[in-house]
Amino acid sequence: MQGPTEEKEQLAGLVERVTFHSPETGFCVIRVKARGQRDLVTVIGSAASVQPGEYVHAIGRWDNHRDHGLQFKATFLKVMPPTSLDGIERYLGSGMIKGIGPVYAKKLVKAFGEAVFDVIEREPDRLRQVDGIGPVRAKRIVAGWADQKAIREIMLFLQAHGVSTARAVRIYKTYGTDAVARVSENPYRLARDIRGIGFRTADVIAEKLGIEKTSMIRARAGLSYALMEAVSDGHCALPEDDLLTLAEQLLEIPRPLLVEALGLELADDIVTADSIGERRCIFLPYLWHAEQTIAARLRALASVSMPWPDIDPDKAIPWVEGKLGVTLADSQRAAIAVALDSKVMVITGGPGVGKTTLVNSILRILAAKGGSVALAAPTGRAAKRLSESTGLEAKTIHRLLEFGPVTGGFKRSEEMPLACDLLVVDETSMVDVPMMAALLRAVPDRAALIIVGDVDQLPSVGPGQVLADIIASGLVPVARLTEIFRQAAASRIITNAHRVNRGEMPDLVPPREGETDFYFVPAAEPEDAIPKIIEVVRNRIPRRFGFDPVRDVQVLCPMQRGGTGARSLNVELQKALNPGQFDQPAVERFGYTYRVGDKVMQTENDYEKEVFNGDIGFVTALDPDANELTIDFDGRPVVYAFGELDEVALCYATTIHKSQGSEYPCVVIPVMTQHYMMLERNLLYTGITRGRRLVILVGQRKAIGMAVRGAKDRRRWSKLRDRLTRT
């Protein structure tokens, strides 16, 4: 890979042959007769369109490939029409213009010479002077030339304004021949329409187009950007004053201009105003509507009669205890009685309190009555765990609702509801406002709904705090399980998780004899913690407990930044756990270097690939020639173009937030005072409860104490609770 100090070189020449070109991604392999080179040069890069005979200007570096020899890898590739007669003939004869093949290319060049492009564009009637070209063929030639010219002009325009070739291809695929006009009119639309382009990138393009920092178009786009920043922090809205202050800081625009811009955004329904308590707040409309949907659907579901006949809990509970071979606690018995008589209910509680046994008991009773059941969870790992614990099929919410990549929406909705009498949703603390709204739209009125989750865990990464708001509203019955069962009480993971949740220090002293499932490794400073984490993961855990250091052990960090943050530890753990691949091909994209064998995580939902945020996979193949990398997700290989690697990240270490809904055989959690901004009780509690068989904290007792005491009320601005309690 190119190092940071390597000089980029330039190369120019005539395209002799197009070995490969992908119209979807723009990736191409071309053979070029380059100035100063005796033999043809293989150039690898990206271009919306490239044909033999065209002239290319490339910027990049030379790479001596093990199998294919010397190649020029272009980070920038500019394609221009040919100027020589031979180049023009090859270009026209390549098949890129409908109606012209090698024979007609030769005839056209013979008839018009170097002026052939001007004839096609400005005097198309003259084409019929060429033998065999009639009105139909002439029309096809003119149309084909116009398309090619449009593509070229768009690419040149975008590249001139700092857009990479891969991004330019994506823009062209989205806007087509209107790309230049649309981007020139409002470059900020790129942040809304094109994946991978945010406000900051659009802002740079806007500046190059001469758009002033204080322009109204920038102020309006910047307000949406500021609101999206708030959404990324979990809010569904922001108080108007807070939004204007945030936008003022982010955009460096005078407040009066932002007030005017907000008025225009409200008038055009780009944003929505509503009150939360005494404060006027600004919502993105889709979140405002999603909150309304959740409240309306929960009320509607709760008001309809039960989908099954009356069930006597005094008979059903002893029956199910016999079937499952368990003795239910009084709290579980009471919860079953409520579930059998409630259209909607919530089951919440920490680890080891019997949520799984309770859900299984309810499912077994209803199955005996012939009721149909659907099970769902937010992530693939959570759905798999739900399947294993119930013996029934469970799906991710996305798969349950049948997302359609082409339409960009869910097939299941009010028009085509789910076919079930009962829907059980697990790990609901992870479910954000838009996802819950989509789910409830698809639940038929007749069906019952059981919402299961641990309300003391971190709230969803996405906007809102759905589970907490539903519980706090009092709209539906809540079974809060608190009793730790005897078998679970033997686990120090579970007992320490509950201690943390109560605001008590976990027991950090291991038993004098035998193994346990919870350890603390002291480290005074980050410089001390990093080698200890590596030693624990690479050597001590595998040697003592037999866990695979890559597949079974997950490092969970309070935050991304810092020496013991996920980003830094990923680099160190990659060196320690995948060293044999450092002499193998690698690709460096978006801040990470990937090699075969690397552990990675999908960081956003990709509906076309059917890979979702939080899914973990392993790199199994890397093809520098095809610009592709293959990742195996639970036995399913998924191919990524190098330009799509902004969707993934190394995952030897990840954040506790990203681990929600997942469990791992072993977790290692660095807890240092440098993480002070993130050290909160629910963060540490969530991290500890991710470990199934072994949890190891590495760090400072002081930092653990800060986390245990850090029960901050980080308010999320949402009106859902008010909507649910409204009579």
- Binding residues for ATP are 352-356
Beta pairing, strands 69-80 & 55-65: antiparallel
Q: For residue 499, give every residue at least 6 positions away whose Cβ sits within 8 Å of its Cβ, in sequence order, or none.
A: 505, 506, 507
Amino acid found at 448: A
What are the structure tokens assigned to 440, written together?
């409830």
CA distance 116 to 124: 10
For residue 228, count other CB atoms closer than 10 A to its CB.
15
Strand partners, 274: 281
Distances in Å between the alpha carbon of 525 and those of 424, 563, 670, 701? 45, 10, 11, 12
Cβ–Cβ < 8 Å for 123, 108: no
- 11-27 b/e with 16+ CB inside 10 Å = b? bebbbbebeebeeebbb
Which residues make beta-bridge pairs with 33?
14
Strands 394-396 and 373-377: parallel
Following DSSP, what letter does each residue of 380-408 receive, concatenated?
HHHHHHHHHHHSS-EEEHHHHTTEETTTT
How does DSSP classify residue 82?
-
Structure tokens at 651: 């995952």
> Helices then strands (H, E): number in the chain?
27, 28
Q: Hey, CA dihedral for 313, 319, 324, 325, is it positive or negative? A: positive
Angstrom CA distances, 481 to 293, 358, 504, 715, stand at 29, 10, 19, 25
At residue 633, what are phi and psi to the nearest 5 degrees?
-110, 105
Structure-derived torsion over alpha carbons of residues 395, 400, 402, 408, reported in degrees to the nearest 10: -90
Q: How far is Cα 700 from Cα 518, in angstroms, rounded to an integer?
A: 16
Q: Which amino acid is at 53?
A: G
Q: Which residues are paired to 396 by β-bridges?
A: 377
Q: How many other CB atoms are there within 10 angstroms of residue 286's CB atom?
A: 14
Q: Are strands 616-623 and 628-633 parallel, antiparallel or unpaired?
A: antiparallel
* Secondary structure letter of residue 611 according to DSSP: B
Judge whether 454 and 689 are in contact, CB under 8 Å: yes
Q: What secondary structure, in 3-state letters, does 418-435 show?
A: CCCCEEEECCHHHCCHHH
- Kindly report the three-state secondary structure assignment for every residue of 1-20: CCCCCCCCEEEEEEEEEEEE
| Secondary structure letter of residue 370 according to DSSP | T
308 and 447 Cβ atoms separated by less than 8 Å: no
Q: Which two tokens stand for residue 325?
A: 């071979």
Quick count: other Cβ atoms within 10 Å of Cβ 552? 17
Quick one: residue 627, left, alpha or beta (phi over 0 = left, psi -120 to 50 = alpha)? Answer: left
Distance CA 700, CA 67 (A): 50
- Find how far residue 265's CA is from the centre of its chain: 28
- Residue 548: DSSP 8-state: -
What 3 state SS string does 111-154 have? HHHHHHHHHHHHCHHHHHHCCCCCHHHHHHHHHHHHHHHHHHHH
Would you list which residues are annotated within the binding site?
352-356
CA dihedral 659, 662, 665, 666 (to 10 degrees): 10
